[in-house]
Amino acid sequence: MRRLFGSVRARAALGATAVVAVALVAAGLAVLLVLRANLIDQAGLQAEVDARNVASQVAVGRAYGEVEWPDDRPVQIVGEDGRVVAVSEELESIEGTGSPEVRAGRGGAGEDDDDPGRGEVSDDEPRMSSGSAAVDGERADYRFAGVEATTPRGQTVTVYAGAPLATEQDAVGTVREAMLIGLPALLVVVGGVTWLVTRRALRPVEGIRREMAAITASEDLSRRVPEPDAHDEVARLAVTTNETLAALEASVERQRRFVADASHELRSPIASLRTQLEVGAAHPELLDVEGAVRDTVRLQGLAADLLLLARLDAGERPGQGRVDLGALVREEVSQRADRLPVTVVGSGAFEVAGSRGQLARVLGNLLDNAQRHARSSVVIRLRAEGGAVMVEVADDGPGVPVGERERIFERFVRLDDARARDDGGAGLGLAIARDVATRHGGSLSVREGERGGALFTLRLPAG
């Protein structure tokens, strides 16, 4: 039971049924109230007509015994002192008027032979009330209208005439019974239709869930969820899920390749260092201290690169400090005075927002790469362009073949000539440089320079 009502279908059906039930109950009550008010108003209008008819007869001086009473309807005439002056025929009891009495006193209009003149009927709104009366042994509810009239002798009386409310009660009862019968049936239909429609709409979602469960169980990220032949939210969910699976598969594959390459790159310096230490332990005179130091430095640099890549893959955000790229470039160049000469072109402040340490790593990697491949010199140009700071690092080396210009930014990728001239690089420098540039909102690309070598262009948003 808990599982059933915990489903989206059940909640949607119950929710739709509850909303429709509230709406129908509110609408039904409104209909009943309006219908009842209209029917009561009609009964009141009919009672007013009867009351004014009798009041008109009283105003012209007709004797109460000669008044033409409405058929089978209660009429009561009450004087100013509250005494009943006259009542309609066969009226046995009455409630809701000016007096509960149904016995008339003697005297009144038309009892003298002299004609004293003519009275009048009040034009004021009648007094409306609801009550009951018994006429000829049958008791019923009535709507009473009270109309004031003045007899020719100046006596003011109030004529109460009643119209039966049986029509109103029958109509309201019929509508109420119809609602009580039709409302549950309609709610059952609404709930059933909502259940079926929701079930049909969520069928693709269930297919996606089953496939995702199978992927989780099998750990096969090459599988994809079915995409419905539609253009709705579920279809877009399936497309997004497949895109996520593709990205996840690529990420896992990249991690596997990264681990394999890292293990391979770490194995060489560790094996070399172990060999030298073992030889040194057995024959101290043969220990190559300089080689051990080189291997240790190489291992230390590789570990630092791997840690930085791990932090970048984990989504580490760069800082939002102000960094002067011009000063940072000159600082990096000054640390490489023992290598090929580097010429810096461009003066002034070139501020960007980001992490000084990470941007220093980018510039250092670009300089290392340029000095490694240059024949005689390296040129760095700084300039501002379109709200960005451009740093161009050019060398006069052999350059990068067109087909390899994107591949060199992959991790652990080194071109054949670089491997032949291996000086300890692991193929991570350019990959780190591009990742850092991208996370700073910039880009890093390579093309052929004016001197025929490689021209790396670092573009960062100006701070």
Q: Is pLDDT at 107 greater than 50 in this prediction?
A: no
Residue 421: pLDDT band (50, 70, 90) is very low
pLDDT digits over 393-418, tens only?
A: 999 989 899 888 888 888 777 765 54
Q: What is the mean pLDDT of the chain?
A: 84
**pLDDT at 105 (0 to 100):** 60
Q: Is pLDDT at 425 greater than 70 in this prediction?
A: no
Sheet containing strand 443-448, strands side by side:
342-345, 378-385, 388-395, 454-461, 443-448
Single pTM value for the model: 0.51
**pLDDT at 195 (0 to 100):** 83
Domains of the chain: 1-219 (no CATH), 233-313 (1.10.287.130), 321-461 (3.30.565.10)
> Percent helix, strand, coil in the chain (nearest 5)?
50, 20, 30
**pLDDT at 108 (0 to 100):** 46
Q: Where are the alpha helices (DSSP H) in 283-355?
A: 289-313, 325-334
Residue 115: pLDDT band (50, 70, 90) is low
Q: How many C-beta atoms lie closer than 10 Å to residue 151's C-beta? A: 24
**pLDDT at 215 (0 to 100):** 85
Q: Is pLDDT at 182 greater than 90 in this prediction?
A: no
* Least confident among 54-58, 300-304, 363-367, 448-452: 300-304
User: What secondary structure does DSSP assign to 389-439, as a single string?
Assistant: EEEEEEESS----GGGTTGGGSTT---HHHHHT-SS--S-HHHHHHHHHHH
Per the CB < 8 A criterion, the answer to whether 245 and 226 are in contact is: no
**pLDDT at 133 (0 to 100):** 92
Average pLDDT over residues 172-178: 87
Q: Is pLDDT at 237 greater than 70 in this prediction?
A: yes
